[in-house]
Amino acid sequence: DAKTTQPPSMDCAEGRAANLPCNHSTISGNEYVYWYRQIHSQGPQYIIHGLKNNETNEMASLIITEDRKSSTLILPHATLRDTAVYYCIVRVANTDKLIFGTGTRLQVFP
Amino acid sequence: DTAVSQTPKYLVTQMGNDKSIKCEQNLGHDTMYWYKQDSKKFLKIMFSYNNKELIINETVPNRFSPKSPDKAHLNLHINSLELGDSAVYFCASSQTVGNSPLHFGNGTRLTVT
């Protein structure tokens, strides 16, 4: 079973920041938080991951709370092409297994 | 260049047939996976292979047999196809070194009639 919970859907205006929340209250100390997205009819695309520090790359920023029980993915300037299902995943320690939940369907509108 | 490529993209076949899906990665990764996405859009891991050896087998029927001729390829062979096998199958790869992200292919949509 997935160890994360996410809202089923969110809307965001084009050009605004999209903030996608994720709860992972049972995360273990050596488990990473990963974010992927799936645009319709394509394979999941890696976005970012982190352990406890905030992370930023060319796609997004990841903010992890100090207790590590939740995180937020931030797309700083959402575009229409960011419309997708976003998955927050806790990676099982010492395995290669990614367990996907139901994700958040982000709709970016003009 | 396509990092993880699967063929075919679409596969329509009848119940009882045997079919294969091929996957190749050119990222130099040593671990490859098969995931299944059903009609409800749940993505579930089926298998993982590391350097041609089976690592994960998630209670998949033995009609499904992955084959890894080398670490750049992981093919999925399915015997005696059933209606419930209809789904999108995704191949992925990663480097074993801790917490390397998985890179996915664009999927093979299998329809069993």
Print pLDDT tens along chain A (110 aa): 668 999 999 999 999 999 999 999 989 888 899 999 999 879 999 999 999 889 999 999 999 999 999 999 999 999 999 999 999 999 876 677 788 888 999 999 99
Mode of pairing for the β-strands spanning A9-13 and A104-109: parallel
User: Is A9 near chain B, with CB under 8 Å?
Assistant: no
Using a CB–CB cutoff of 8 Å, tell me whether A81 touches chain B: no
> Closest chain B residue to A91 measured between Cα atoms?
B99
Please tell me the distance from the alpha carbon of residue B33 to that of residue B40, in angstroms, as a whole number. Answer: 21
Contact B96 A96 (CB under 8 A): yes
Rounded to whole angstroms, the Cα distance separating A109 from B21 reads 37
Closest Cα of chain A to B43: distance in Å?
Answer: 6
Tens digit of each residue's pLDDT, chain B (113 residues): 569 999 999 999 999 999 999 999 999 998 999 999 988 888 999 988 887 788 777 778 999 999 998 889 999 999 999 999 999 999 999 987 667 899 999 999 999 99
Q: Is B84 helix (H, G, I), strand (E, B) or coil?
A: helix
Note the pLDDT of residue B86.
Answer: 96
- Residue A82 dihedral angles phi and psi, to the nearest 5°: -85, -5
Residue A75: closest CA among A66, A63, A65: A63
Residues with Cβ < 8 Å from B61, sequence gap 6 or more?
none
**What is the nearest CA distance from B102 to chain A, expressed in angstroms?**
7
Q: Rounded distance, CA B61 to CA A12, Å?
A: 42
- Say whether B99 and A85 touch across the interface (CB within 8 A): no
Distance from CA of A38 to the nearest CA of B (A): 10
pLDDT at B60: 87
The residues, any chain, with a CB within 8 Å of residue B50's CB and separated by 6 or more, are A96, B30, B31, B96
Given an 8 Å threshold on Cβ–Cβ distance, is A43 in contact with B55?
no
Nearest CA in chain B to A102: B42
Chain B residues touching A43 at Cβ < 8 A = 4, 90, 92, 104-107
